[in-house]
Amino acid sequence: MSGDILRTLRPRAMEFGPLQGLDQTVAERPWAHWRQTQDENRVVWLFFDRAEANVNLLCETALRELDQILDNIVRDMPKGLVLRSAKADGFCLGADIHEFYGLTDESVVMDKLQAAHAIANRLAALPFPTLAVIHGLCLGGGLELALCCDYRLAVPGARMGLPEIRLGLHPGLGGTVRLPRLIDPVKAMTLMLTGRTLDAREARKHGLVDDIVEERHLRNAVEAIMAGQMGGHPQGVKARILSTRPARRLEARLMRSKSADKAPPEHYPAPEALIGLWEEHGGDAELMFDAEIASFARLLTDSTARNLIRIFLLREKMKEQTHTRLPAPDRVHVIGAGAMGGDIAVWCAYKGLRVSLYDRQPEVIADAMARASGLCRKKRLSERATREVLDRLIPDLHNRGVSSADLIIEAVPEKLEVKQQIYQDIEPLMKNGAVLATNTSSIPLQQLRKVLNRPERFVGLHFFNPVAKMQLVEIVRHDATDEMTLAIAQTFVGRIDRLPVSVASAPGFLVNRALTPYLLEAMVLLDEGVAAETIDRAAVDFGMPVGPAELADQVGLDICLSVSELLRNHFETAMAPIPPWLRDLVAAGELGRKSGRGIYTWKNGKAQKDKHAPPADDETLDRLLLPMLNACMACLSEGIVENENLVDGAMIFGTGFAPFRGGPMQYARSRGYRDIESSLSLLAEKYGERFSPDPGWAERA
């Protein structure tokens, strides 16, 4: 039955969302995670309702209960089964990661998966029509459960996908088999290889759902499906062609090429495992089910998946820090519309906040407004949504937004006197309870706060460039910051969909303190005659998104020089000397990507590199990497950051440190603290005091 037929059905009221028609007496049934009722047409409605949770996550207990429920349902032989969620936020967000994180025995994982597969296969083989009704998010194992049903309907606003690849895995509950058999196999593989989610319209277009139905029309659509008015899912021409191994082999070659560009197989084995599964067994469902289980078990017990899952869980913990009882600031005022201030204002407006943006130069504000339009285009917002974003971003040439803002963010150049003068000018104009924040990347807040009458309402909010991509915000506390101010800052960071890490005020805070020795050592290597491409290749091969020479050009050599000078004033013996040529390049205006020339020449936003540069040796990598790790340990020793997990989260979400390695401290743990300490000592003997190991390595060894 087509979507047009569904839309012409006589409406029947369904005003109460997912639980409409649910007999509340079922609460007395012995199921912890499910609710069940039967309507007047002998159709069973089964609602997933994870106990003591706000969202549905598939767990072992819920699956075992489902198995028992199916026993009872089959015994009664209803006309059909409808699978729904009782949670307002969505169908199911996937498997409960906590249940399998930390499993290291492949045989144990396989046993668990085989039991889960048996239940999913049983749902798929029921002798009457089955239908999944999807609202909100339907991800991972939740979508795999929906794929076991004969039909799927989406409520407007639903989103669905199989994002396991982002955790170093592929689907493990039959999704690798069922999705390519339901929709275009190449599209199915692309969805699994990218982890991309589809909205309801895209899902219908590709055949993942049969139709989109408003909640109020749902009961009529269910009746029509149970009456046999919707056809099956005939296999397309492409699916029939790709049922042969030679055809799959050709497609697999293209898939490998594309996935390797974004996820090198030596670091991220899951894409290759998924492609190999489909290439080898895509024509035989039974063999592929078994191969999926074995492959998933291998991946789950591999270090890549363990590290990526750990980072995912750490990300969730960082997000929890933003869940305070305080409301997020409604009105934000940004002082300074340059590269950082303008982009902070644009992002806040994009995320729904009303933002005034002050700068003395109208053209700088105009540039920020243009960047706002560009972000909306990149995010594919409609014309109306774009207009709403731009309406929320208010140009302010007279700094009037100070008096009405709940949060004021200063983002002017890194000059102590300039920032302090701004604070003296605006503090008398701020309304009661407003918070003043600085986006300084390196100046200690104890110095900045000296001119303030109310330093307890002053905090650091250090964003990273580019603001629209980098998820981390360092929330910087100083010796007078009060708890209310910190809580408001945390709430704000969550409101704009960013991840906070709380750090104590100190030169460079955490991320810049750790990143600067890495960049400076690259400068010293360049000074010694090592090719920039060789240096960058060492870092990229290790797993960094870009090498330090290219990163310095992207950040701007003027900014690198400024931060390096400031931090060397405080940590002279812990950092490499600044080569004279860096100051010469900055003086000549050769600043990197933004000027078109720096360490590299830049064309169309890309560094022009010599592809024939020689490879680096292991010592080169250690010279780059170990100063960064040493600075991370120093931040822990000095109490700048609370624990090693937060260091890892900050460095991954703030710098892109190789996620599959789990962060710098996780890498140090896997390599061995003693090895890090001894390697630093050897480098110190050869290259100088800057490599002297922090005492924390010996204390933790």
Question: CA dist 403 to 59, 332, 337, 570, Å?
Answer: 51, 11, 18, 37
d(CA 342, CA 383): 22
CB 662 within 8 A of CB 310: yes
CA angle, corner 208, sides to 206 and 212, nearest 5? 95
Distant-in-sequence, close-in-space partners of 41: CB < 8 Å, separation ≥ 6: 79, 223, 226
Cβ-proximal residues to 271 (8 Å cutoff; 6+ apart), any chain: 165, 193, 255, 256, 259, 260, 263, 265
Amino acid occupying residue 392: R
Confirm if 491 and 322 have CB atoms less than 8 A apart. Answer: yes
**Cis link prior to 246 (omega < 30° from 0)?**
no
Neighbour tally for 424: CB within 10 Å: 12
One-character DSSP codes across 239-261:
HHHTTSHHHHHHHHHHHHHHHHH
CB 697 within 8 A of CB 691: no
Please tell me which residue in 117, 135, 462, 478 is annotated as part of the active site.
462
Q: Is the dihedral of CA 124, 128, 129, 132 positive or negative?
A: negative
Kind of pairing between the strands at 472-477 and 130-134: unpaired
Exposed/middle/buried for residue 599 (C-beta within 10 Å: 0-12, 13-18, 19+)? buried
- Nearest CA among 469, 473, 472, 640 for reference residue 546: 469
Rounded Cα–Cα distance for residues 40 and 28 (Å): 21
User: 408, 333 in Cβ contact below 8 A?
Assistant: yes
Please choose, from the candidates 556, 559, 561, 563, the residue with its C-alpha nearest in 3D space to the C-alpha of residue 594. Answer: 556
Question: Whole-angstrom Cα distance, residue 365 to residue 342?
Answer: 7
The helices-and-strands tally (H runs, E runs) of the chain is 29, 20
Nearest-angstrom CA–CA distance, 563 and 549: 16
Rg over alpha carbons for the chain, rounded to the nearest Å, is: 28
d(CA 105, CA 289): 20
Mark whether 462 is an active-site residue.
yes
Q: Environment class of residue 76 by beta-carbon count within 10 Å: exposed (0-12), middle (13-18) or buried (19+)?
A: exposed
Using an 8 Å Cβ cutoff, are 555 and 592 in contact? Answer: yes
Q: Packing angle between helix 644-655 and helix 303-320, nearest 10 degrees?
A: 90
> What's at 192, amino acid-wise?
M
Residue whose structure tokens are 């639903």: 158
- Token pair for residue 348? 């806040």
Query: Read out DSSP for 3-44?
Result: HHHHHHSPP----SGGGTT--GGGGGSS-SSEEEEE-TTSEE
3-state secondary structure of 435: strand
Cβ-based neighbours of 225, under 8 Å, separated by 6 or more: 1, 80, 129, 131, 151, 153, 210
| Alpha-carbon gap, residue 692 to 690, rounded angstroms | 6
User: Which residues are annotated as catalytic?
Assistant: 462
